[in-house]
Amino acid sequence: MNTLTQAKRIHFVQAALPRWYRRRRRDLPWRGRRDPYVVWVAEIMLQQTRAATAGPYFERFCRRFPDIAALARAPLDSVLKAWEGLGYYGRARNLHRAARRVVGEFGGRLPGTAQQLLKLPGIGRYTAGAVASIAFGADEPVLDGNVSRVLCRLFAVGTELKAAATQKRLWSLARRMIPPGEAGAFNQALMDLGATVCLPRSPQCPACPLKKICLAHARNRQQELPRRSPPRRLPHQTIVAGVIRKAGRVLIGRRPEEGLLGGLWEFPGGKVEKGETLTAALRREVREEVGIRVRVAGPLMTLRHAYSHFRITLHVFECRRLAGRAMALGCAAVRWVRPPELGRYAFPAANRKIIAALRRQAGAAKPRLRGRARAQRPAK
């Protein structure tokens, strides 16, 4: 089998993979549904999220926004709230923007070709291929992390995965492999094989339906393929944030829609400049962002968080407003809210940890208050 031509290998995959898929396909909430909207939402969620994590979000999202018109009508805030916890919020913003374009330009029906889909915000080559093939039956290939890994191993592609030439070769292989008229099921079969059998660290070759023609398996090169670029060291930022209190409420600001975590709410704060102390940085950031002067009362917590391109250490302080009226200077909106109402807003992960700490703090304070009230009650 080591000497087979590429055409024969492809022919083998076209016959063996669909057989395996019929018996072993994953039972996922979006499987078997051809509604283009549903396929689109699922594929956007799967861009940077594992299927097991995306599943419950997908079901909640489709209940909340059952079709494109409902998504287009919804305010961005409620879309971000439904996405809260999935991360990579640009996906939700683009999905929302694209739904509005589909309603405005295509009468509420998602276009059916990969070329048209590619013109919508947030739809790249992979998503266009997945939606066109699964929802519309078009013979379009897909190439995500799972499919890339399978192809690199099957055909012993040893060049660096991210290199343009490698990507071109993989896309061409993915296209040539499609059995005509079967792209939807075939693409999903390739994804499932990558997700359940051809695993990154421990490929399950004995259980693989393609082991007879797999070059990496024959040459014992599974561990070295695909060839990845050396990992980059993520830059680190020190950030400060303030829980600013006034008359039982806390101040939150909404990030501008464009950019990282756009449209999400957060506690005011920002980056510590070189040579600045944490508290001086917080006072400056609060003044620049929401226009008020604060007294930094004391530390609340310190937490670490990693984003895709950098890591942060976030120092959170309790603050009191000294002067000024909160205004959206460096953010899109500001609001004073009672702590129990914070759950109505969409916050990034690091800020949700602050909210959890505030809830714990409030929970710990209640029994003390109740105890004190009892102690103060006059004896009968």
Cis? peptide before 226, omega within 30° of 0: yes
Rounded to a whole number of angstroms, the minimum distance from the CB of residue 2 to ligand SF4 is 13
Rounded to a whole number of angstroms, the minimum distance from the CB of residue 21 to ligand SF4 is 14
Q: Which residue, among 304, 305, 309, 303, has the nearest Cα to 234 in the 3D structure?
A: 309
Rounded to a whole number of angstroms, the minimum distance from the CB of residue 202 to ligand SF4 is 10
- Is 16 or 349 the residue whose CB approaches ligand SF4 more closely? 16
Q: What is the C-alpha separation between 257 and 254, in angstroms, rounded?
A: 9
287: CB partners within 8 A, 6+ apart: 293, 324
The DSSP result for 125-150, as a single string, is HHHHHHHHHHHH--------HHHHHH
Backbone phi, then psi, for 181, in 5-degree steps? 80, 0
Residues contributing to the site for ligand SF4 (CB under 6 A): 150, 153-154, 197-198, 203-205, 208, 210-211, 214, 216-217, 222
- Is 69 or 199 the residue whose CB approaches ligand SF4 more closely? 199
Q: What is the C-alpha separation between 129 and 123, in angstroms, rounded?
A: 10
- 227 secondary structure, DSSP code: B
Q: Which residue, among 250, 248, 240, 249, has the nearest Cα to 350 in the 3D structure?
A: 240
- Is 76 or 205 the residue whose CB approaches ligand SF4 more closely? 205
Tokens of 155: 């055909």
Rounded to a whole number of angstroms, the minimum distance from the CB of residue 229 to ligand SF4 is 21
Rounded to a whole number of angstroms, the minimum distance from the CB of residue 15 to ligand SF4 is 15
Return the residue matching tokens 């075939």: 186
Catalytic residue among 43, 84, 289, 318: 43
Q: Is 43 a catalytic residue?
A: yes
- Is 50 or 212 the residue whose CB approaches ligand SF4 more closely? 212
- Is 93 or 211 the residue whose CB approaches ligand SF4 more closely? 211
Rg (CA), the chain: 26
Cis? peptide before 231, omega within 30° of 0: no
Instruction: State the catalytic residues.
Output: 43
